[in-house]
Structure 1
């Protein structure tokens, strides 16, 4: 034991150890779930390759730049949506359905440990999925240069926190994994098709475009894609997503207390 360890109260060290073990177990369980791996990793990557290939690499169809680069930047946001609206709600709701959360209480886990472990799980899943997307996209279409790294990083972090918070909240609110899957997919696919990975907003009718641009996942996309591709600074979208993130994390923390 180091001097630094002696300076930390025993209860704090024990709480950190419990949370670390809980997170490790959560990562193992998620990695063994074929639905999770297929939907969070494979589906967005395959969809990005198909849509990017359909529009090609030449500026056309009204795109202000290389269409494949447009969709590479956009589909990073799809990973965030898949994690927050599908992976986490289904995973957590299955725990509630099987009584796992009650066992955590009986085992004496710190009240905040589960929320923290799920938050870390979501952020790790988004990071791995995003890296996988870029590794696949690089040899096929090339990765678009990041024009404003600080704003893009802020959009990724805040957007991830917002949807991880939403995912934890939905998972603790819905009664079963099947219900979570139904609600998650119902929220995910309109966001995917309208706000992020479907047709670009400039080809939509005005009414549909207005709806698409104000979806939460579309706002996350604007805060990431616009500064990434120099289509704008994404500041307004980032501020709104920040408010959503604060509310979502507060609600998730309240609902997930053991």
Structure 2
């Protein structure tokens, strides 16, 4: 087990040294929730037509927990893994007799932890506006956040394995991030999106995570269907990454 633990420690050190990590995973979601909380306040949406019956700040808090996971999975991890492939790091790892799986395990573990740290910073930033006791089911929020962070980390592995260079991975990741941000539930609420954009959002991996987190935060509770969707997304990402990396 030592190579696996050492790999996770090394990957953590390498990732946190990247300014992109700090901006997209930790700072940006927290800044967004701070700005939108100031704009919308937290007066409940009585009709439930836009913010599902809660205030804007409460509505966006779980959405930006999800956005932290998307930032790590779509931008940071793919760029890091594609850079490894571009520089031949994985070939040297194989040549040294170290399991490549240990490196990938380290990247997925660190990505999941960073996503959760980003989500925790979002909550800490939102508390002055929404109060400390607004989450209806804290355990449900934690479990859903972990599942979502892991799913996005595995999607990130697939992107990093499929794209040829770090620059290509970063460019593609930022483009996809902006699309899912706008239509996947972290931008305009689904209720105000045009039908075509809402349909596109339904097919992004961000929408199920946003909705599942909102359900346990202020809605009907655990959404097992969406948790299953996130699990399937993660398994698909792992399968694509495994197939592609086996051909390198």
**Structure 1 residue 23 and structure 2 residue 22: aligned?**
no
Q: Decide which moves more: 63-72 or 211-220.
A: 211-220
Q: TM-score, normalised by structure 1?
A: 0.86
From 65, 89, 102, the equivalent of 1:100 is 89
Divergent runs of 4+, >6 A: none
1:50, distance to aligned residue in structure 2 (A): 1.3
Structure 1 residue 43 corresponds to structure 2 residue 28? yes
Cα displacement string for residues 66-112 of structure 1 (whole angstroms, at most 9, x for unaligned residues):
11011111100001100100010011111111221122112110242
Distance in 1 separating the partners of 2:164 and 2:203: 29
In structure 1, the residue corresponding to 2:184 is in which secondary structure? helix
- Aligned pair partner of 2:106 in 101, 113, 117: 117
How does 1:238-253 map onto structure 2 within 5 Å? 238-253=227-242
Residue by residue over 1:9-32, the C-alpha shift from the partner in whole angstroms, topping out at 9 and shown as x without a partner, is: xxxxxxx11121121111111111
Aligned pair count reads 243
Alignment of 1:127-142 (within 5 A): 127-142=116-131
Match among 60, 73, 93 for residue 84 of structure 1: 73
The one of 32, 41, 44 equivalent to 1:59 is 44
How many Å separate the matches in 2 of 1:214 and 1:97?
30
Distance 1:196 1:102 in 2: 39
Distance in 1 between the 2:86 and 2:203 partners?
33
Q: Distance in 1 between matches of 2:130 and 2:54?
A: 13
* Alignment deviations for residues 126-153 of structure 1 (CA, whole Å, 9 cap, x no partner): 1221222222222344345332344433
TM superposition score normalised by structure 2:
0.90
Write the distance in 2 (CA, Å) between the matches of 1:187 and 1:165.
15
Structure 1: runs of 5+ lacking an equivalent: 1-15
Residues 256, 125 of structure 1: CA spacing in aligned structure 2 closer, same or farther, 3 A cutoff?
Answer: farther
- Which residue number corresponds to residue 145 of structure 2? 156
Once the two structures are overlaid, the 10-residue window that deviates more, 131-140 or 115-124, is 131-140
1:217 aligns with 2:206: yes
Instruction: Tell me the residue number matched to 2:191.
Output: 202
Aligned partners of 2:57 and 2:126 also within 8 Å = no
C-alpha spacing 1:207/1:213, structure 2 compared with 1 (3 Å): same
- CA–CA distance in structure 1, aligned partners of residues 245 and 214 of structure 2: 32
Aligned 8 A contact 2:162 2:241 in 1: no
- Equivalent-residue separation in structure 2 for 1:167 and 1:241 (angstroms): 14
Once residues 92 and 54 of structure 1 are traced to their aligned partners in structure 2, the CA distance between those partners, rounded to angstroms, is 38
Helix, strand or coil: the match of 1:198?
A: coil
Among 211, 216, 227, the alignment partner of 2:216 is 227
Distance in 2 of aligned mates of 1:242 and 1:84: 14
